[in-house]
């Protein structure tokens, strides 16, 4: 089945140096965007994403959104775009009815969206300016692997499930009060 990622790959072959995306002061060529998308799709496939799996994308417009959006499709997944301004209850609702397997979020509102994702049975993954990051507290890794723009690095440690992470962080925060 043809999806938008095929057209991106064709454009990268046909117009490698042409501007594909302009965000603030940064211009990304079709070739560079195509390479980032392919790396991210490999990250998803190695992480267990199967064709047809739904993936929530709750990112603002920019390079990260484009890479995740096209990368999910390139890996055979189905993108579930979510407005970053949604409240946690709405996030949980949409993740539940779509049966999304993962949710990519920014650090802004990450705690509320992580709670919503876990309640919906979805793996939350935080994306910062340096790619996929650990939890905001830096204690443990939310994502099963780390993806850094420009490299395909795997996290060698054995990750805990999102539910275990959330439970641990909530218990730790309650003890601190």
What pLDDT does 108 receive? 79
What pLDDT does 1 receive? 54
What is the rounded CA–CA span in Å between residue 71 and residue 17?
20
What pLDDT does 159 receive? 34
What pLDDT does 37 receive? 95
Q: What Å distances lie between residue 166 and 30, 55, 99, 119, CA to CA?
A: 38, 20, 20, 10
**Which range marks the domain in which residue 162 is found?**
4-176
H/E run at residue 29: strand 26-29
Taking only the tens of pLDDT, the chain with its 177 residues reads 568 899 999 999 999 999 999 988 889 999 999 999 999 999 999 989 999 999 999 999 989 999 999 999 999 999 999 999 999 999 999 999 999 999 999 887 788 888 999 999 999 998 875 666 443 332 223 333 333 333 333 333 333 344 444 445 555 545 544
Number of domains in the chain: 1
Q: What is the pTM of this model?
A: 0.73
- CATH code: domain of residue 69: 3.40.50.980
Q: Residue 45 in contact with residue 92, Cβ under 8 Å? A: no
The dihedral sign for the CA sequence 33, 35, 41, 47: negative
């Amino acid at each position: 089945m043809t999806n938008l990622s095929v057209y991106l790959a064709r454009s990268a072959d046909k117009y490698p140096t042409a501007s594909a995306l302009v965000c603030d002061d940064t211009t990304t060529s079709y070739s560079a965007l195509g390479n980032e998308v392919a790396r991210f799709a490999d990250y998803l496939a190695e992480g267990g994403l199967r064709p047809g799996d739904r993936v929530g994308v709750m990112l603002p417009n920019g390079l990260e959104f484009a890479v995740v959006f096209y990368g999910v499709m390139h890996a055979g997944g189905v993108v579930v775009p979510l407005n970053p301004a949604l409240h946690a209850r709405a996030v949980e609702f949409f993740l539940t009815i779509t049966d999304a397997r993962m949710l990519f979020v920014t650090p802004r509102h990450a705690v509320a969206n992580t709670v919503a994702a876990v309640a919906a049975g979805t793996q939350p993954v935080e994306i910062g300016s340096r790619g996929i990051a650990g939890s905001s507290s830096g204690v443990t890794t939310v994502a099963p692997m780390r993806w850094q723009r420009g490299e395909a690095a795997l996290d060698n440690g054995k990750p805990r499930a999102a539910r275990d992470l959330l439970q641990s962080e909530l218990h730790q925060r309650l003890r601190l009060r």
